[in-house]
Structure 1
Amino acid sequence: MAIQASEPVANPNPTTNSASRTPRKSSKSEREKPSSNSPRNPVPKPPNWLSDPSTSGSASGSRSSYLLDTSVATTSVASGTSLSNLRDTLPENSQIYDFSEIRAATNNFLAKRYSSTSSSSQSWRSVLNGKDVIIFQRKLRKSMDFSDVKQKLSVISKSHYMSIIKLLGVSISGEHIYLVYDFVSGSDLSLCLRNPRNPDFTVLSTWMSRMQIATDVAHGLDYIHNTAGLSIDMVHKHLKSSGIIVTEPSYNAKICHFGAAELCGGTREDDRARPPELTSERQVEGVRGYMSPEFKATGIATQKSDVYAFGVVILELLTGKEPETYKFDKGSKNYKRLSIIETAREAVEEGGSGGEGVDMRLRRWVDKRLKDSFPVEVAEKLTRVALQCVQVDPDNRPNMNWVAGKISKLYLASRKWSDKFKVPTEISVSLGPR
């Protein structure tokens, strides 16, 4: 399978459309009428807003039929006028949904919640503007102003990458932000590796299937860090195996929750002016096993903390195990913490117990469900790359551009190994008498 690391698809520029430059005479009343069917303003609007009559309604009408927290209504961006003004300045493909649209799509939030292990927040799968979407509700970590939302949503909406699930738009009401993503059919990586109903089985039973996922996630995170942000240092913050969707039939991986940290307020830029008394609240936002030491201490997500989480995901792919487990020790009669980071270091460090070589230790450490069918040299190099990502000191961790390049080379080496041992399919065997 070839590595797919194509450049992001550029957004169409609405100003280059000749039809949009053709002047159209209209009366003064027509130009001032805020109708969804009115001619385009000098600032181009995305076509989906013009064709969607629900976006022309004000939020004041929706508040009459749904209870909102009026104590925060003056500081949120839920007002119809503000949303309309914000829409007019966003590029094509950006979307600020009316809160009434979110309510309608979720049946006033009474629809069955989508069962997902990728997020602890509430979510609903629904259809919005004819698209199959999934809506996540998250709590805002700071007060949001129009310019902040506009800048970040403008950047995120321009991002297109094959291994990132696209953010279609947002809606903000009170203390919550509703993130609308494309729905992607598949299973999350944690379930693919650890099916509670059948622990001895995994769909990722080949080395190449796991290398494909490692490559997709590496290039996706590299895109987020070094391409998507443009003028800002973009951070994911929520990278974990349960936040990665594996699709069939080629077992490609797609990263969930892109843009959530930026829009909810949970990055270094957002936390610089944050009062110290809120530190304890930030510390519990991460996921056990994926948080770097400095993230645990400060609660501030950085690109280096993303690299740490990525290293943990790679070790999960190698072993099939959770980042942290607890085993009962009969001697001390206490539970002992087991970390895949520690076991990985033991597997590749020089001089094992009894003079056992690295090859043998790796074969015992790597997921048994691969049935010892993997290139040991590549597995060792991949383990060492992952261990570099989980260094305690963030300054000693590599950036994702370097990591993605290394993993691409290991993918090519794995492909060469796989082709070497591939069973020929063009040979036909006859079992009949000659």
Structure 2
Amino acid sequence: MCKTKMAVNATEPKLTRSRNSGTTRTSINTPSSKPQSPRPSAPISDPSSSNVDYSSTGSSYKLDTSRATTSFSSRTSLSSLRDSLPENPYIYDFAEIRSATNNFLAKRHSSSSSPSWRCTLRDKDVVVFQRKIRRSIETSELKQRLSVICWSHSKSIIKLLGASISGDHIYLVYDFVNGANLSDCLRNPRNPNFTVLSGWMSRMQIAADLAQGLDYIHNNTGLSMSFVHKHVKSSSIIVTEPLFNAKICHFGAAELCGETAIEQREVKIVERTGSDEITEEDAPRTPSKLKRSDSRGLQFEGVTGYMSPEFQSTGIATQKSDVFAFGVVILELLSGEEPVKFRFDRRSGDYKKRSVIDTARDVVEDDGGGGGGGEAVEGRLRRWVDKRLKDSFPVEVAVKLTRVALDCVHVDPDKRPTMRRVVGKISKLYLESEVWSKKVKVPVDISVSLGPR
């Protein structure tokens, strides 16, 4: 027993403590005949022990806490990623919708044609839209479509959380995004000379976000369903601060309301002959086969200025009609004008219709297809582009973007580009705009006047 005890004491380290600059140092003295390598780091239970240094045979090292830090940061990043992913779609009970909107007596969220309310639903800040169902949808079909739409995830699309059906109406619940719609940002009736989009890069950012979001809807929402937005317009695009990103509203509304079902397209026909009226229930299921005499009273949901010619004649919303509406929004973004204007003609004494498409074509009609613009084109473009940009924009890029938008609004749908192709073109123009912005270095906090004092 004594020998064993002495052997243990011979190898027992001698601990000495010293305080230097408030740091506690523990020295371990071992026999020089058997040098020991530093012991590996152990899990730390006391955070203060991370300041303790161990020295052995003239070398010292500290306890390494990087492994614990890495583990903690990994858990944090995974948690943030999990929060950013879309959740399972909700089939809300109609009583929840009524309770959240105070029996639909709460203040309307916007002045759009579809009634909407901002409220709190299941501890989330949401916006509820009421839309009419164009055709009956079974609960199983609704769940299937919701599972595809709600699991779609893009930073340029406002997320759909769920839906509820009551009678002939469907209530779509979207995540609330703080911002203003593009129409109000471009045209404020209270202050027409002011816009928050006073810089060229802010408008290019919106154009790029809108193109990417619409391309995602057309090509990346997955499975065998071909999605169409149908409601592309400036009032359906939310602009967020401070980076002026654009987010598309009403994604999935057309599919969930039965407006774009390929197997059963419906067009509301109203043909008045005396007191007789053909209602929606009596409308033919294949409006593309309608004769000219049968289409005199075609009526369907659409916004003047954004509807493509084939959509006006058939009432069928397609991806090509979305591309047409996208082109109108880009021209609207460039000029700051409404899609359609009516001006009084003194000579004829009547109002004449003038669209932003017509004015854009007048600007680049003598371009010759070069895309770079000539002196005449440059002068017309500077007079046509929104004056609130203060003539500070890359002219060549503006001409190219105008031509891209005009390609999107081509009369022949087969000659319009796909959104995948449009995204590629606008991305290049965005990079060219960034190069121009770095060269110009436009001041944002001061104003410069070159006029006489």
TM-score (norm 1): 0.73
2:118 counterpart of 1:99: no
Deviation (angstroms), 1:423: 5.3
**Residue 276 of structure 1 aligns with which residue?**
283
CA distance, structure 2, for counterparts of residue 180 and residue 282 of structure 1: 31
Structure 1 moving runs of 4+ over 4 Å:
277-282
CA distance, structure 2, for counterparts of residue 192 and residue 204 of structure 1: 7
CA distance, structure 2, for counterparts of residue 229 and residue 341 of structure 1: 33
**Residue 199 of structure 2 aligns with which residue?**
206
**Residue 163 of structure 1 aligns with which residue?**
156
Aligned residue pair count: 331
Q: Percent identity?
A: 70
Larger relative CO (CA 8 A, sep 6+): 1 or 2?
1
Deviation (angstroms), 1:219: 0.2
Name whichever structure is richer in strand by fraction: 2
**Residue 440 of structure 2 aligns with which residue?**
421
1:149 to 117, 130, 142: 142
**Residue 68 of structure 2 aligns with which residue?**
none
**Residue 357 of structure 1 aligns with which residue?**
376
CA distance, structure 2, for counterparts of residue 414 and residue 351 of structure 1: 21
CA distance, structure 2, for counterparts of residue 362 and residue 189 of structure 1: 22
CA distance, structure 2, for counterparts of residue 273 and residue 377 of structure 1: 44
CA distance, structure 1, for counterparts of residue 436 and residue 425 of structure 2: 17
SS in 1 for 2:220: helix
CA RMSD of aligned residues (A): 2.0
User: Superposed, which structure 2 residues align to 1:212-231 within 5 Å?
Assistant: 212-231=205-224
Equivalent position amino acid for 2:163 in 1: V
2:333 counterpart of 1:326: no
User: Superposed, which structure 2 residues align to 1:4-23 within 5 Å?
Assistant: none
Equivalent position amino acid for 1:139 in 2: K
Contact 1:283 1:295 in 2 (8 A): no
Q: Structure 2: which 5+ runs fail to align?
A: 1-85, 268-281, 288-294, 369-373, 445-453
**Residue 377 of structure 1 aligns with which residue?**
396
2:335 counterpart of 1:315: no
CA distance, structure 1, for counterparts of residue 417 and residue 207 of structure 2: 16
Q: CA 1:158/1:369 → structure 2, altered by over 3 Å: closer, same or farther?
A: same
SS in 2 for 1:228: coil
**Residue 407 of structure 1 aligns with which residue?**
426
Q: CA 1:92/1:166 → structure 2, altered by over 3 Å: closer, same or farther?
A: closer
Q: CA 1:235/1:177 → structure 2, altered by over 3 Å: closer, same or farther?
A: same
Deviation (angstroms), 1:206: 0.7
**Residue 70 of structure 1 aligns with which residue?**
none
CA distance, structure 2, for counterparts of residue 92 and residue 330 of structure 1: 58
Deviation (angstroms), 1:284: 3.0
Q: Structure 1: which 5+ runs fail to align?
A: 1-90, 426-434
Contact 1:268 1:300 in 2 (8 A): no
Deviation (angstroms), 1:268: 5.1
Structure with bigger gyration radius: 2
Contact 2:255 2:261 in 1 (8 A): no
CA distance, structure 2, for counterparts of residue 192 and residue 102 of structure 1: 30
Deviation (angstroms), 1:148: 2.1
Deviation (angstroms), 1:370: 0.7
Equivalent position amino acid for 1:331 in 2: R
Contact 2:87 2:161 in 1 (8 A): no
Q: Deviations over 1:107-145 (max 9, x none)?
A: 11122222x24x311111100000000000000000111
Q: CA 1:392/1:210 → structure 2, altered by over 3 Å: closer, same or farther?
A: same
Q: Deviations over 1:64-120 (max 9, x none)?
A: xxxxxxxxxxxxxxxxxxxxxxxxxxx952110011111110111122222x24x31
1:246 to 239, 261, 267: 239
Equivalent position amino acid for 1:290 in 2: Y
